Amino acid sequence: MLNRDERRRLHEIERWFEENEPRFAESVKRPPPDPATRRRRTAAIVVAVVGGLVLLAGLVMISPVVVFLGISLGVGALAVRYLLLNTGR
């Protein structure tokens, strides 16, 4: 944890870069997204949505097996999405 003076100095350095080297400052703040990561995250969201739809279908059909499958798909996909966010991948 930085103390107050270190945080102030860090903010001064950040401002200097933003004023004098805006392209560099922007590239450091927000690195370009990895296409593979974007595909994995999108796939996880799609699987979660499909899981929700399967869950609804199972509820309509009153089928415990289909309900369980829908819940499993949704929870699994959201767990993968959560892990991708926390590992930075």
Q: What is the chain's length?
A: 89
> How far apart are the C-alpha atoms of 19 and 73, rounded to whole Å?
48
**Cβ neighbours around 11 below 10 Å, total:** 10
Mean pLDDT, to the nearest integer, of 1-19?
89
Is residue 51 domain-shared with residue 89, that is, in the same domain?
Answer: yes
Using 50, 70 and 90 to split pLDDT, how confident is the model at 8?
Answer: very high
pLDDT for residue 34 is more than 90: no
Q: Are the C-beta atoms of 77 and 55 separated by less than 8 Å?
A: no
Residue 76 pLDDT: 87
How distant is the alpha carbon of residue 39 from its chain centre?
A: 12
Residue 21 pLDDT: 87
Is residue 57 domain-shared with residue 40, that is, in the same domain?
Answer: yes
Is residue 56 domain-shared with residue 24, that is, in the same domain?
Answer: no
Is residue 9 domain-shared with residue 42, that is, in the same domain?
Answer: no
Is residue 39 domain-shared with residue 18, that is, in the same domain?
Answer: no
Is residue 45 domain-shared with residue 86, that is, in the same domain?
Answer: yes
Domain of 18, in residue numbers: 1-32
CA-based Rg of the chain, rounded to a whole angstrom? 22
The pTM is what?
A: 0.55
pLDDT in tens, 45-74: 888 889 889 999 999 998 999 999 999 988
Where does residue 20 rank: exposed (0-12), middle (13-18), buried (19+ CB within 10 A)? Answer: exposed
